[in-house]
Amino acid sequence: MAEDSTSMQVEEKDKMNEWVRLTTPDGYEYLIKRKVAMCSGTLRNSLSAESSFSEALSNTSHTTERAIIVEKLCEYLTYKSLYESAKKNEEIPDFQERVYPEISLELLVAADYYDDWPMQHAFQRDAMRPNLAQARLPAKPEA
Amino acid sequence: MSSDYEPGARRLPSLVQYCQRVASTHANSFERLGEGLPEELLRPILNSCSAETLWRFEEEDPYIAAYTTDIWRNMCLKTYPRFAREPEESGSESWKDEFARCKEEDEQRLERAAAKLREKRQLDEERRKETSIKITDKLPPAKRARWGVSAPAKTLFQKTRSETAKLQKGVFSTRMTRPSTQRRPIVHNYAGASTSARPPPPPPTSMSSSIASGSRVTVRAVPVPRKPPPAEQALSAVANPNAGRMNSALSPPPPAKETNPVQTPSSPPDGRPPPLVRPPPKKNPASTLFMPKHHAYSQLPRGLSSKS
């Protein structure tokens, strides 16, 4: 059991280091780490769902946004995953300057969509992981 | 992106919040908002745009109007605190209309005030113009054109006095160059006639008065025998009807019009002719000016060489 759990954790970690692909209708593709993608509630859903059905080929989420918007989205997700766990007094760069006024309205709509996921407490999110892990991993032989 | 509630974790603003901030800052640069934007997302942007921008947004995407009532209300009360009234009171259909009404009212008041100010300024300008210096090449009307009105001088002494007085102040008493320079009387002293008292050189004013009188009085040259032998004193046209030229006989004067048969020191046939020599041909802009008396270095044309 213990082995299982550690191996599960290790696998999960590996999983988290995998690259995830976001495609756009205008022909661009963006690769981000899975753990970064998980910062978005919607992406988390879509990637998990897809992965559960077609894991090997999956890790891809087909977005309906323009490439610029997806790019900014990825930028924000990276920023968030990086500084989310920073301590209070640490200085972090401001993201506001990176939001260009020309795209602000579109990005506003996109951000609202991809951040649909209601706010969850940590324990709830963690609770989801075992489910995800189970869904992904092939059935383990009974130990 | 939703913020974390993990203990110790940083609470980052969500991307939605960032976008709202940036869009609100540049709200007036947007041409239109586009469709499908949920109200809650738009609210901060609509709150931070100007009335003009909001109007534009509503025109381009009318669906926005559904949730802008409050915004228009705030706009009204903020921009036109004195004019704004509840739409039911003032008859507007909505707060948006109320805003338009207030704006019109404001403009009208401004226009009225501006018009009043303009009028006042114009009046002031006109008043100033009247008293300002104008350039002209005409002489101002003679201030003392009525010099001839003085009481007729019967005696020689009186005549002398009045004439010298005129001379002293004489610039404005005539509107022409001194007649004396043109037609100084040639007093021929023929034999024997010199004993009579000669009248002094005719004053410059006599021309004007003689002309004036000439217009009124019929002129007939009548040789009048006098006690002293009639001297052919070709008196010039400057016969003064009132002057007691007692001893001057008249030969037919060269300009027949202008001399009188001065027979006796008689008073003029009728009352003093009107003093004005001739009315000014046209309105002289300088006529409104105040012309001072002759000054030491005045450049006004004067007959006399003396300047004082």
Residue B84 has pLDDT above 90, yes or no: no
| Alpha carbons B100 and B51: distance in angstroms, whole number | 10
Q: How much is the pLDDT for A50?
A: 59
Most confident of A52-56, B17-21, B178-182, B232-236: B17-21
Check A112 against B41: CB less than 8 A apart.
yes
Q: Which residues of A touch B (CB under 8 A)?
A: 39-41, 73, 76-77, 79-80, 83-88, 90, 92, 95-96, 99-101, 104-105, 107-109, 111-112, 114-115, 117-122
Are B286 and B134 in contact, with CB atoms under 8 Å apart?
A: yes
Better pLDDT: B24 or B233: B24
Chain A residue closest to B27 (CA)?
A: A101
Q: How confident is the model at residue A121 (pLDDT cuts 50, 70, 90)?
A: very low
Kindly state the percentage of chain B with pLDDT values over 70. 51
pLDDT in tens, B207-249: 444 444 445 666 677 777 765 554 444 444 444 444 444 444 4
Question: Which residues of chain A lie closer than 8 angstroms to B18, CB-CB?
Answer: 76, 95-96, 99, 111
Q: How confident is the model at residue A24 (pLDDT cuts 50, 70, 90)?
A: very high
Instruction: Establish if B14 touches chain A: CB-CB under 8 angstroms.
Output: yes
Check B26 against A119: CB less than 8 A apart.
no
Are A87 and B10 in contact, with CB atoms under 8 Å apart?
A: yes
Measure CB to CB from residue A105 to each of B6, B9, B23 and give the nearest one: B23
Average pLDDT over residues B281-298: 68
Residue B79 has pLDDT above 50, yes or no: yes
First-to-last C-alpha distance (Å) of chain A? 7
Q: How confident is the model at residue A7 (pLDDT cuts 50, 70, 90)?
A: confident
Measure CB to CB from residue A101 to each of B2, B20, B22 and give the nearest one: B22
The 3-class secondary structure across B42-79, one letter per residue, is HHHHHHCCCHHHHHHHHHHCHHHHHHCHHHHHHHHHHH
Token pair 């963006």 is at which residue?
A30
Check B22 against A40: CB less than 8 A apart.
no
- Sheet containing A19-23: order of strands: A29-33, A19-23, A60-62
- Measured CA to CA in angstroms, residue B211 lies from B110, B174, B200 at distances of 63, 12, 19
Q: How much is the pLDDT for B148?
A: 56
Average pLDDT over residues A109-120: 71
Let me know the angle formed at the C-alpha of B68 by B65 and B74, rounded to the nearest 5 degrees.
150
Instruction: Establish if B32 touches chain A: CB-CB under 8 angstroms.
Output: no
Are B63 and A135 in contact, with CB atoms under 8 Å apart?
A: no
Q: What is the DSSP string of B80-138?
A: -TTT---HHHHT-SSHHHHHHHHHHHHHHHHHHHHHHHHHHHHHHHHHHHHHS----SS
Considering only A88-97, A111-120, B75-84, B146-155, which range has the smallest mean pLDDT?
A: B146-155
User: Of B10, B7, B8, B49, whose CA–CA distance to B32 is shortest?
Assistant: B49
CB proximity list for B189: less than 8 A, separation 6 or greater: B231
Check A119 against B5: CB less than 8 A apart.
yes
Better pLDDT: B111 or B235: B111
Average pLDDT over residues B283-295: 68
Check A105 against B26: CB less than 8 A apart.
no
Chain B residue closest to A75 (CA)?
A: B15
Across the strands, what pairs with B152?
none
Measure CB to CB from residue B19 to each of A107, A119, A120 and give the nearest one: A107
Residue B180 has pLDDT above 60, yes or no: no
